[in-house]
Amino acid sequence: MTLPATMKALLLKGDGYAVQPSGTVLEAMEPYVEAATIAVPQPEEGQVLVKVRLASINPSDVMFIKGMYGQPRKQGQPAGFEGVGEVVAAGSSAQALALVGKRVAFPTGRSNWGSWAEYAIAEAGACIPLLEGVSDEDGAAMIVNPLTALAMFGIVREEGEKAFVLTAGASQLCKLMIGVAKEEGFRPIAIVRRDEQIPLLEGIGAAHVLNAEAPDFPAKLAAVLREEKPRIFLDAVAGPLAAQIFTAMGKRARWIIYGRLDPAETPIPEPGQMIFMHKKIEGFWLTEWMGSAGPERRMKAVVEAQKRFSDGRWSTDVTAVVPLEEAVARVADELAKPNGKVFIAP
């Protein structure tokens, strides 16, 4: 197969980190990425070159292009942390060469060659060759959200308490977690901001769904926490709402922050609870987990994620598939719609 010399891609306009952090909502793509034509990259020894079919847009992508993520931007490189496509070239390692011709889900990791492009670079060891029954949409969203869901649910499982609390309860990530939790007899307490999300999440297995905007939220929250005694709080929001929930939780509560949808200041209303109630505040980052979890737990999660998508227990709700050349103009509007994922098709 002859590869073209150049490709279309969405390139990062900013470099490094944002000087002034902004909100986590993407107001527009234009300040952060631009469509351009650049040279097709070359895979190094353990890498593959993927012809991208679909690339997903996760909250972490939005944070990254705005310069608010855990790794610095590199101006002029394509954005995009994951996607699905066909391996069309490989570096010299056997593992990489064995993937040529296969359809894979892939993360771009720290390669600086993102998935919002016609071609992307991925580490061969991180690619997941896909079963036939898995759709491109599921494949393109198989890594970031699913592995985060399984890894964080693993924390809940290890802690032992059946109930746990989730903010941003209607996110794709939380919906995946709620499904796994229900199957294993756990009791997710999902916090949302809209009443219409309540029946949806109850339907897929949430034990309780509370609307944080409702006037009786503090009383309902207190009652549910008393009844269910959750210890783990998986929080995508931070800010005053998360602080309120953590403060209302009981002894040995662990506030695990994995996102910051609310840019407002995050207080610790009662530091004494850290001392006398043995509460803790920590964080979760998939990139860190991938490094620290060890190959066995990582592989187990990868296999489980694909199995769940291929047997239909998990599926990806699609809001829109946007052609790459329309992405700068349309993506922000599509992301503003609730309940599904937005993809870029190069």
| Nearest C-alpha neighbor of 185 from the set 149, 156, 211 | 156
Counting residues that bind its own copies (by CB under 8 A) gives 30
Does 283 sit near its own copies (CB under 8 A)?
yes
Cα(309)–Cα(135) distance, rounded to whole angstroms? 8
**CB closer to its own copies, 31 vs 70:** 70
Does 260 sit near its own copies (CB under 8 A)?
yes
> Is residue 263 within 8 Å of 291, Cβ to Cβ?
no
Among 36, 38, 281, 293, binds its own copies (CB under 8 A): 281
Cα(258)–Cα(234) distance, rounded to whole angstroms? 7
| Nearest C-alpha neighbor of 261 from the set 109, 77, 88, 59 | 59
**CB closer to its own copies, 239 vs 338:** 239
Does 268 sit near its own copies (CB under 8 A)?
yes
Does 233 sit near its own copies (CB under 8 A)?
no
Taking residue 324's Cβ as centre, other Cβ atoms within 10 Å add up to: 19
Report angle CA 39, 67, 238 to the nearest 5 degrees. Answer: 140
Q: What are phi and psi of 229, to 5 degrees?
A: 45, 55
Does 182 sit near its own copies (CB under 8 A)?
no
CB of 176 vs its own copies, minimal distance in Å: 19
Does 274 sit near its own copies (CB under 8 A)?
yes
The two structure tokens encoding residue 154:
């693993």
Among 9, 61, 62, 69, binds its own copies (CB under 8 A): 69
CB of 149 vs its own copies, minimal distance in Å: 16
Among 249, 257, 324, 327, binds its own copies (CB under 8 A): 257
| Residue 152, H or E segment | helix 144-159
> Which residues contribute to the site for its own copies (CB under 8 A)?
68-71, 238, 257-260, 265-269, 271-285, 288
